[in-house]
Structure 1
Amino acid sequence: MPTIVTLSILTISLNVVLSAKILGLFPPPVNSHRNLYVPLVQELVQRGHDVTVVSPYEEKTDSKNGSLRSIVLTGFVEWMRDGMKNMRTFEQTDTNVFQKLQTSIAFLEKMTEMTLEHKEVQKLIHSKETFDVVIITEVLNHALKALAPHFKAPLVSFSTVGACSLSNLLVGNPSPPSYVPDIFSDYSSQMTFLERLTNSFTHLYTQVCFNWYVYPKHSKLMKKYIPGEYDFDQVIHNISIVLLNSHPSINQPVPLVPNMIEIGGFHIKPPKQLPQDLQEYLDNAPNGVIYFSMGSNLKSAELPLEKRDAFLKTFAKLKQKVIWKWEEDVLPGKPDNVKLGKWLPQSSILAHPNIRLFITHGGLLSTTETVYHGVPVLAIPIFGDQKQNAQIAVNLGFGLSLSFEDVNEEALTRTIVELLNNPKYKEIAKARSKYFHDRVRKPMETAIYWIEYVIRHRGAAHLRVAGIDLPWYQYILLDIVAVLVLGILLTCCIVAFVCKKLCCRNSQRVKIKAQ
């Protein structure tokens, strides 16, 4: 009996020691971002931590182990909705890398200021609270990083994508432009000479843009809204760890410094029981089922009429059934083999053994889920990182890509038939799925371990690489290149001068002999 009491006391004491105050800042009013941070927050609460979440949504928990306080960024969802009304999403396919970068910078700078000036955030800033760790979504919102030293806490960066220019520059992570494409580009690791040239220029342009425009802007925001004297350069480079939503089974392998941790697929939970109508529809499909969804931000109902008709005519010719995420009550001309749904449990559908193909926009979450379940994919990318994800799927061999401009009945039919009838896509998708699941520990376990690691050690300065402390021109060896170029030019000048002198001397000798 005393042993049981002792163990109980030790267990309670351990829980008290491990319980921490955590602040999570997740400002983007985008469902795909919410689908990532909510599982992480819920797991932290389940582990007994007290979590404060600053986001555009009211977050709740059923867990009794820890606590969850939600600070809602009111007005953000409406702001995003109004902006999307003026933006024809299916017409964004032809924007170039520089347009994407400039649009993102302007949008995220505005969102950062809206976050900092929000009355509830200002109330929190002036509350004199402290936290054991601050977790911030990494989306060019650098001014928010000053909240970590303000609350006397180490900083964890939460990246919804893999290693890219958004985080590489902050932790000194190498990203050779010869095979690491910029996140705003449409390239994969297998680039042509022209693509490598463009990618190199993009890398340089991004560094210049960040250092001489983005960072100064956010430094001003930091000073305007966060009391105290902070060195902005130290603030943005004082990241303990970066949690990356990536994994080599989904993304191309790239260099990672020690404090960049891959947790791709951490948000995926084991499949749940499907609603009865979907379960019966999938079970009674002797030829299999195709699942079609354009994600949470794009709406199939907004497809141009000619594109929608191309899908309808193509699906009508197939012997497979189709489940289509359609946001309206009616789809004119819907074939009998198509089932509609305004909201669909995507991961649980993909887990069904009768799913033969996933037609998607190529978003990272959808790509991750199709690899998780080992389902071949047809990617029809529109904007953002979708084209890059689609190209990776093609290069790795578990899918094909079709540009939105090329979507017509003939191209759709040809591509879908190839994916359905050629077994290599299914075989490769299953192999990628095995790579995904074969890890030392589950990705959510990895995420929690490293967050608690930072809490235990009050940061992780020992994981920082020396490159962080170098000026950007030294990091990319511009000073060395300049010295080498000057040295070569000086050598050439000396050689030219000596040659000229020798020529003049020889010329004089010839004249003397001639006389």
Structure 2
Amino acid sequence: MSARIGFFSFLVLFLTIIGKNEGARILGVFPFFAPSHYILGSTLMKGLAEAGHDVTIISPFKEKNPPKGGKWTEIIVENTLEAVMKSFPKPDLFKMEGLSGISSGISTTFLIETLTNLITEETLKNNKIQELLKSNQKFDAVIITQFNVEAMKAFASHFNAHLILFSNVAANSWLNHFVGNPSLPSFFPEILLSFPEKMSFMQRLENTIFKLANTLYYNLYIYPKHNEFIQKYFPNPVNIDDLLYNVSLVLLNSHESISSAQPHVPCMVEIGGYHIQPPKKLPDDLQKFLDEAKEGVIYFSMGSNLKSQDLPIETREAILKAFGKRKEKILWKWEDDVLPGKPPNVKVGKWLPQQDILAHANVKLFITHGGLLSTIETVYHGVPIIAIPIGGDQKMNAYGAERQGYGIVLPLREISEEKLSGLLDEVLANPQYTNNVKERSIIMKDRQVKPMDNAVYWVEYVIRHNGAKHLRVPYLELTWYQFYLLDVLAFIIGVILTTVILIKVTCTYFYRKRLNKTKLKKN
């Protein structure tokens, strides 16, 4: 009898362990054509697959290094790029660099919305996506990139799955309201305005006006537009209002080492730096070039979306002249076959393994556009920067690095041989820049758990706890005007005005009555 009980107990324990280790089915939606977006999305989904889960990813890229663990399925929407480009010719981003403040924010907002609306619709009507929507597949969670593709949140509703948002950047007003995270314009600069954390009165005024305008724009145009996409392309459509605020988890590509400390509600988790991999061996020519650079190496890259070859000719020539005077070697990500006027100390490459380069001990300075991935990687490896920000979040990241003391901002329009040479001397000769970034690097690496492990844990947590509704803040039920007390303020103002009017009417009445009595006495 005892043997049977022992065997039964063992069987129950065994089945319990098997049940706990059974992988979840997770859909990741990362439809953007920017390589940086794909790196973040695919790295997250591969981490989940390697943790033993059954992962499906929607993207325009084919993964070159599929995960070794779990199950990996790709739905590649490669044909959407051509369709989008027909309606959305690629803008000259370098020409937009001079805009600032509200004018920059407005123009960038319209640019982003035009592009994201096209990407959303072209992705949803793609034959492969329609086949997926009409299939009998089941998912436990859907992870959506939080970048103005609101209609795609209907994937979660369609598959009866928990909705998880992934943000390429830190908490911001594009996503805070979906989970009730505080983002008052008094202390939360709008991401497209690039204002410092401590804003002046005029900056707070601009920030407030821009936030109000954005809130109205999204609620009156963007969300209704994406609701149309949902009704048109999903077999069993629901209203977008039932989707936007039904978020179980937000994964933020941020950390205190690279951005200011910010308030986060319980369902928001920072995983910044999760995409960084251990350094790999460099190609032989690059390894030799870096190893032999006894005076050090300056690494120059404008990222994956911006092309150095598109720089204005006079700017490029000024940069080359400044580089030609350096004792250090220069490694430049240059997308063309030839770099006219290239000095002997400059080596170019159409594609360069940035993380592995920054990890090399001889790299002393990184000249960057200030993209967030580049910012995270340079902080992790402890390399100071000169930032040439162009748009998006680049200015915010660049000026943040300058305030934190590990970089200097060089606006594109101010580049000259003399200016660049002076900044190179300043950053390379002053050890404070390197010391500051190495201090930030220590902070980034000082974590209780690895950021990827943290991401996997919280995704699994949400699935284990059936959406983790206990993490939702109760005031999320308030509308945006209730959240900001606009209805209360309107009521208070109305009461004050009514009281003032009543007092005025009453005073006028008694004044006239008294005046009439005085006139009667005189008569």
TM-score (norm 2): 0.92
Aligned in 2, Cα 1:167/1:296: closer, same or farther, shift over 3 Å?
Answer: same
- 1:311-326 pair list within 5 angstroms: 311-326=319-334
Question: Are residue 26 (structure 1) and residue 34 (structure 2) matched?
Answer: no
1:54 aligns with 58
1:386 aligns with 394
Question: Are residue 155 (structure 1) and residue 159 (structure 2) matched?
Answer: no
Between the aligned partners of 2:475 and 2:424, the Cα distance in structure 1 is 47
2:301 aligns with 293
Q: One-letter code of the match for 1:56?
A: P
Question: Are residue 67 (structure 1) and residue 75 (structure 2) matched?
Answer: no
Question: Are residue 463 (structure 1) and residue 467 (structure 2) matched?
Answer: no
- 1:123-202 pair list within 5 angstroms: 123-202=131-210
Between the aligned partners of 1:280 and 1:60, the Cα distance in structure 2 is 26
Q: How much has 1:313 moved relative to structure 2?
A: 0.6
Residues 289 and 357 in structure 1, CA contact (< 8 A), matched pair in contact too: yes
Q: How much has 1:387 moved relative to structure 2?
A: 1.0
Residues 398 and 425 in structure 1, CA contact (< 8 A), matched pair in contact too: yes
Between the aligned partners of 1:82 and 1:224, the Cα distance in structure 2 is 22
Question: Are residue 251 (structure 1) and residue 259 (structure 2) matched?
Answer: yes
Question: Are residue 279 (structure 1) and residue 279 (structure 2) matched?
Answer: no
Q: How much has 1:89 moved relative to structure 2?
A: 2.2
The one-character-per-residue Cα deviations of 1:190-246 (angstroms, maximum 9, x if unpaired) are: 322111101001111111111111111111111111122523212111110011111
Q: How much has 1:259 moved relative to structure 2?
A: 0.7
Question: Are residue 415 (structure 1) and residue 423 (structure 2) matched?
Answer: yes
Aligned in 2, Cα 1:438/1:269: closer, same or farther, shift over 3 Å?
Answer: same
The one-character-per-residue Cα deviations of 1:142-198 (angstroms, maximum 9, x if unpaired) are: 111111121121111111111112211211111011121112222221322111101
Q: One-letter code of the match for 2:264?
A: L
**Which one of 226, 231, 239 corresponds to residue 223 of structure 1?**
231
1:453 aligns with 461
Between the aligned partners of 2:411 and 2:65, the Cα distance in structure 1 is 41
Residues 84 and 122 in structure 2, CA contact (< 8 A), matched pair in contact too: no
1:44 aligns with 48
Between the aligned partners of 1:249 and 1:29, the Cα distance in structure 2 is 28
Aligned in 2, Cα 1:80/1:253: closer, same or farther, shift over 3 Å?
Answer: farther
1:111 aligns with 119
Question: Are residue 336 (structure 1) and residue 340 (structure 2) matched?
Answer: no
Between the aligned partners of 2:293 and 2:152, the Cα distance in structure 1 is 51
Name the SS for the 2:244 alignment partner: helix
Between the aligned partners of 1:206 and 1:253, the Cα distance in structure 2 is 24
Between the aligned partners of 1:101 and 1:469, the Cα distance in structure 2 is 27
Alpha-carbon RMSD across the aligned residues, in angstroms, is 2.3
Residues 165 and 206 in structure 1, CA contact (< 8 A), matched pair in contact too: no
Question: Are residue 473 (structure 1) and residue 466 (structure 2) matched?
Answer: no
Unaligned runs of 5+ in 1: none
Between the aligned partners of 2:83 and 2:97, the Cα distance in structure 1 is 23
Q: One-letter code of the match for 2:488?
A: I
Moved more, 495-504 or 341-350: 495-504
Residues 30 and 297 in structure 1, CA contact (< 8 A), matched pair in contact too: yes
Q: One-letter code of the match for 1:483?
A: F
Q: One-letter code of the match for 1:192?
A: S
Between the aligned partners of 2:155 and 2:146, the Cα distance in structure 1 is 14
Residues 181 and 264 in structure 2, CA contact (< 8 A), matched pair in contact too: yes
Q: How much has 1:37 moved relative to structure 2?
A: 1.2
- 1:366-405 pair list within 5 angstroms: 366-405=374-413
Between the aligned partners of 2:446 and 2:521, the Cα distance in structure 1 is 86
Q: How much has 1:374 moved relative to structure 2?
A: 1.4
Q: How much has 1:330 moved relative to structure 2?
A: 1.8
Between the aligned partners of 2:74 and 2:237, the Cα distance in structure 1 is 28
Question: Are residue 406 (structure 1) and residue 410 (structure 2) matched?
Answer: no
Q: One-letter code of the match for 1:363?
A: G
The one-character-per-residue Cα deviations of 1:40-93 (angstroms, maximum 9, x if unpaired) are: 121111111111111111236554531111111021343466678642121121
Residues 289 and 355 in structure 1, CA contact (< 8 A), matched pair in contact too: yes
Between the aligned partners of 1:424 and 1:224, the Cα distance in structure 2 is 57
Aligned in 2, Cα 1:264/1:454: closer, same or farther, shift over 3 Å?
Answer: same
Moved more, 384-393 or 305-314: 384-393
Aligned in 2, Cα 1:421/1:60: closer, same or farther, shift over 3 Å?
Answer: closer
Q: Quick one: percent identity of the two aligned structures? A: 46
Question: Are residue 90 (structure 1) and residue 106 (structure 2) matched?
Answer: no
Between the aligned partners of 1:338 and 1:162, the Cα distance in structure 2 is 35
Between the aligned partners of 1:277 and 1:12, the Cα distance in structure 2 is 53
Name the SS for the 1:239 alignment partner: coil
Between the aligned partners of 1:396 and 1:493, the Cα distance in structure 2 is 53
The one-character-per-residue Cα deviations of 1:325-365 (angstroms, maximum 9, x if unpaired) are: 11122212111211111111111111122221110001010
Residues 45 and 65 in structure 1, CA contact (< 8 A), matched pair in contact too: yes
Q: One-letter code of the match for 1:406?
A: E
Residues 153 and 458 in structure 1, CA contact (< 8 A), matched pair in contact too: no
Between the aligned partners of 2:172 and 2:124, the Cα distance in structure 1 is 25
Residues 146 and 222 in structure 1, CA contact (< 8 A), matched pair in contact too: yes
Unaligned runs of 5+ in 2: 1-5
Between the aligned partners of 2:66 and 2:240, the Cα distance in structure 1 is 39
Q: One-letter code of the match for 1:295?
A: G
Aligned in 2, Cα 1:393/1:327: closer, same or farther, shift over 3 Å?
Answer: same
Residues 60 and 68 in structure 1, CA contact (< 8 A), matched pair in contact too: no
**Which one of 482, 488, 496 corresponds to residue 496 of structure 2?**
488
Q: One-letter code of the match for 1:40?
A: L
Residues 175 and 254 in structure 1, CA contact (< 8 A), matched pair in contact too: no
Q: One-letter code of the match for 1:25?
A: V
Question: Are residue 78 (structure 1) and residue 82 (structure 2) matched?
Answer: yes
Residues 61 and 68 in structure 1, CA contact (< 8 A), matched pair in contact too: no
TM-score (norm 1): 0.94
The one-character-per-residue Cα deviations of 1:274-308 (angstroms, maximum 9, x if unpaired) are: 22322222222232211100001111111111010
